[in-house]
Amino acid sequence: MDCHRTDDHVQQSLSSREISSKNSLLGEDSFRRVVEWAPSAMVMIDRDGIMVLVNAQTERMFDYGRDALIGQSVEILVPARFRQHHQTFRAGFFDDPQPRPMGAGRDLAGCRADGSEFPIEIGLNPITTEAGAMVLASIIDITERQRAQQRLEDALREKTVLLNEVHHRVKNNLQVITSLLNLQADYAADPQVRTILAESCGRLKAMALTHQLLYERKDFSRLDLGDYLKRLIQSIRSSYRAAGDRISLRLVLPSPAVQLDLERAMPFSLLINELVTNAFKHAFKGERNGEIVIEISEDENAQICLGVADDGIGLPPGAESAQASSLGLQLVQLFVEQLHGQLTIERNGGTRFSLRFPKRISSKEAA
């Protein structure tokens, strides 16, 4: 459709409705051009809902020739079941004409010449002309947008299901390895080998638990530390049943809960596992009674603070040094580095490990 012909067409359509060609706005060549070549369908209606001007995009969108639209009620473009309501709405709009989107929050539909429907979005603009008050509606077909959105939602749902499955399987596999190590431990005559295998099982359980919480909570990007700790401690405690009621455990958690991203959840969980396991294993030798307190907080500099304290026999001098040959505390140092954190140890009527690390690692540090 060439530009010239369309302009004539608009003019012709207008005169067919006997709208004053002297109308200052409609007479503007530029106005007619803007409307005609707008990417959205533009429909101008008068107070009675009669279409006095439509553009090329309206013809394409609704599959009507222009002559079949001009002079007709705009309700032919509305699905039959909404026509009545549309009429009422239209009268209301003319009583209080303000530029605004139509039917905000509701699904609007247009109706093509063959009766088929499609989703639309409509902007309404009141216009005062010499021929009276008019409304210029700009209409967008949002079929493609809705399809794209649906595709995105489907893809996201699929990804969630897959991630869920992956975490589930990883957790199951770790559980299988744990069971195998347990079996192996039953065959080990040497108590030291048994202890080593039991501690390895503890580490695997700490890892499996992170995966379990991720799929249980359906949040695959972060871990709720409070949730995690409650479950981890239960698991460690059940491995040290022999300690019975001699050792009490207290967990101090902040509100709101602290969340940790996935990358750091693993070293963090393994680190806590080492410290709490040590407290159970070493701090209360000789049937001592005591308490283990695990405390998490977040300070004003977005640092996560962890305290694991016991009132047991105290850490022997030098146990934490790099020369000490034990694996547990060396692993602790490694996890502290991975978390870009700082660890302090106090020996004051027991042992207290305090760790402080940034909640978010700057991209420079991460590199």
Ligand X SMILES: Nc1ncnc2c1ncn2[C@@H]1O[C@H](COP(=O)(O)OP(=O)(O)O)[C@@H](O)[C@H]1O
Binding site partner of 282, from ligand X, Mg ion, none, Cβ cut-off 5-8 A by kind: ligand X
Residue nearest to ligand X (CB): 328
Number of residues that bind ligand X (CB under 6 A): 18
Q: In whole angstroms, give the CA distance from residue 366 to residue 171.
A: 27
Task: Name the residue nearer to ligand X (CB basis): 88 or 325.
Answer: 325
Cβ 283 to ligand X shortest distance, Å: 4
Binding site partner of 319, from ligand X, Mg ion, none, Cβ cut-off 5-8 A by kind: ligand X
Task: Indicate whether 129 belongs to the interface with ligand X (CB under 6 A).
Answer: no
- Give the footprint of ligand X on residues 247-276 (CB under 6 A): 274
Residue selected from 328, 346, 354, 358 as contacting Mg ion according to rule CB under 5 A: 328
Task: Name the residue nearer to Mg ion (CB basis): 132 or 328.
Answer: 328
Write the binding mask 272 to 311 for ligand X: x where contact by CB under 6 A, - elsewhere.
--x---xx-xxx--------------------------x-
- Give the footprint of ligand X on residues 332-361 (CB under 6 A): 351
Cβ 195 to ligand X shortest distance, Å: 8
Residue selected from 25, 50, 251, 319 as contacting ligand X according to rule CB under 6 A: 319
Interface region with Mg ion, contact rule CB under 5 A, candidates 79-87, 184-192, 258-266, 326-334: 326-334
The closest of 79, 86, 51, 80 to 66, measured between CA atoms, is 51
Cβ 288 to Mg ion shortest distance, Å: 18
Q: Please enumerate, as own/partner, the contacts of 122-129 that have beta carbons within 8 Å and a separation of 24 or more.
A: 123/99, 124/93, 124/99, 124/100, 125/99, 126/93, 126/97, 126/98, 126/99, 127/25, 127/44, 128/25, 129/19, 129/23, 129/24, 129/25, 129/26
Task: Name the residue nearer to Mg ion (CB basis): 100 or 282.
Answer: 282
Residue selected from 259, 328, 346, 358 as contacting ligand X according to rule CB under 6 A: 328
Task: Indicate whether 278 belongs to the interface with Mg ion (CB under 5 A).
Answer: yes
Interface region with Mg ion, contact rule CB under 5 A, candidates 77-85, 143-151, 276-284, 313-321: 276-284
Task: Indicate whether 329 belongs to the interface with ligand X (CB under 6 A).
Answer: yes
Task: Name the residue nearer to ligand X (CB basis): 110 or 267.
Answer: 267
Q: Which residues bind ligand X (CB under 6 A)?
A: 274, 278-279, 281-283, 310, 312-316, 319, 326-329, 351
Q: Which residues would be at the binding site for Mg ion (CB under 5 A)? A: 278, 328
